[in-house]
């Protein structure tokens, strides 16, 4: 099942819990299949390979980039995928308040799509190592590290969701720009149209295009104008207006800054040496 990461974070923020056990399993030397999960809930952190677990009949594919939670005393089934080696670390935990335990998420199964995170893998391996050290310090460190592991896993999920959402936003806005480049386009109007603030829109474009939305619009227009200069007989002013730039002097200045020569010189160079002219940039 899917789980709301904010709900999960709030759950662990208000419910007292402690590590019950940490175990590292691998296909070789092999682990006997269990029919039920433990008497306490746990998180499975895949390290390598691929294996399927079923919690009360619901299947989950365990691969790196995911974290799977299994509830207490759930019917468990395991399915192998050929001769693929697999390895994972299981962290069992206990809710310390019996009244809160009944209403907690410890009775549910779900997965967290963390994506590949070297830091998360490093933390979970360190957690397993510290747990297996003797002494009270290691027990204290285990409790602290487990919370670091959960924190990192939750942050990975949030960052992954934000990345997917930002990519969707970039695709939507850039497509709109490509279809309406000849109209008045401002950062504020694009942001308002997509229900985000201008800072968010600027961040998304810098992340996915390496430039702000205003520069993206301008470069797209100039690149289209470049194509028109040797594909049509329209004047420089007409071309500038066609791509949405009303001021021909501003258009010429920006064009020269991007290509090193004026629009008129560019067209003359193409007419005189059509085989030698190469595009100075690629269309966005």
Architecture of domain 5-161: Sandwich (2.60)
Contact 65, 116 (CB under 8 A): yes
Q: What is the DSSP string of 195-223?
A: T--HHHHHHHHHHHHSS-HHHHHHHHHHH
Which pLDDT score, from 0 to 100, does residue 278 have?
47
Contact 15, 104 (CB under 8 A): yes
Along the 284 residues of the chain, how does pLDDT read in single tens digits? 778 899 899 989 988 999 999 999 887 544 446 788 898 999 999 999 888 899 999 999 999 999 999 998 999 988 877 677 789 999 999 998 877 666 667 789 999 999 989 999 999 999 999 999 999 999 999 999 999 999 999 999 998 888 889 999 999 999 999 999 999 999 999 999 999 999 999 999 998 999 999 999 999 999 999 989 988 889 999 999 999 999 999 999 999 998 899 999 988 887 655 554 444 443 44
Distance CA 171, CA 210 (A): 14
Which pLDDT score, from 0 to 100, does residue 169 have?
95
pTM exceeds cut of 0.85: no
What's the topology of domain 180-284?
Arc Repressor Mutant, subunit A (1.10.10)
Domain edges within the chain: 5-161, 180-284
Give the torsion sign (CA, 15, 21, 25, 30).
negative
- Whose tokens are 């390598």? That residue is 48
């Amino acid at each position: 099942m899917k789980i709301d990461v904010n709900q999960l974070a709030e759950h662990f923020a208000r419910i007292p819990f402690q590590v019950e056990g940490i175990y590292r399993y691998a296909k070789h030397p092999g682990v006997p299949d269990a029919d039920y999960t433990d008497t306490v809930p746990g998180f499975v952190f895949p390290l390598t390979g691929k294996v399927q677990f079923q919690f009360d009949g619901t299947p989950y594919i365990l691969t790196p980039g995911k974290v799977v939670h299994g509830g207490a005393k759930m019917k468990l089934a395991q399915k192998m995928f050929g001769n693929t080696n697999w390895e994972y670390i299981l962290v069992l935990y206990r809710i310390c308040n019996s009244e809160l335990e009944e209403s907690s998420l410890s009775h549910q199964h779900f997965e967290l799509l963390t994506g590949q995170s070297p830091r998360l893998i490093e933390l979970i391996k360190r957690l397993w190592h510290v747990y297996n050290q003797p002494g009270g310090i290691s027990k204290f460190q285990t409790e602290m590290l487990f919370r670091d592991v959960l924190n990192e896993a939750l942050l990975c999920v949030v960052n992954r969701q934000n990345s997917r959402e930002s990519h969707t936003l970039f695709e939507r806005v850039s497509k709109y720009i490509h279809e309406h480049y000849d109209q008045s386009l401002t950062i504020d109007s694009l942001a308002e149209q997509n229900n985000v603030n201008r800072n968010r829109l600027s961040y998304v474009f810098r992340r996915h295009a390496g430039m702000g939305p205003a520069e993206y619009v301008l470069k797209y227009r100039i690149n289209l104008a470049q194509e028109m200069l040797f594909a049509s007989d329209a004047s420089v002013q007409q071309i500038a207006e066609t791509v949405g730039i009303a001021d021909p002097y501003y258009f010429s200045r920006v064009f020269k800054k991007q290509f090193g020569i004026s629009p008129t010189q560019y067209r003359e160079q193409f007419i005189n040496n059509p085989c030698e002219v190469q595009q100075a940039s690629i269309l966005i």
